[in-house]
Amino acid sequence: MSALIKHSEERLMKVLLAPVISEKATMVAEKNEQVVFLVTPDATKPEIKAAVELLFKVQVESVQVANRQGKQKRTGRFTGRRNHTKRAFVCLKPGQEINFTEGA
């Protein structure tokens, strides 16, 4: 719980944006016992760890992050770019589990 003291609870509530539910994320979850989240671009690993522990009441072993560049898109002659995103791969301690389908 020492990680909770370092970060304000209000900030931790804003760090995690959404869980990533995709074929790749599901494969990673089954193989490595990790959960993938979309996080704010300025989030740090200790903040992500504290936020997951606070919101889901689980113990986190480690966190890896990946910055994804936004795709270049065109509409007619105008080009634009989608927003860059940051993903967090959260490895849970053995015996821990997050179930997103429970509340549905």
The answer to whether residues 39 and 15 touch, using CB atoms and an 8 Å cutoff, is yes
Where do the domains of the chain lie? 2-71+81-92
The top-level CATH class assigned to 2-71+81-92 is: alpha beta
pLDDT tens digits along 28-48 = 888 888 999 999 999 999 999
pLDDT, tens digit, 9 for 90 and up, residues 66-83: 999 999 999 999 999 999
In DSSP terms, which residues pair with 39 in a beta bridge?
Answer: 16, 86
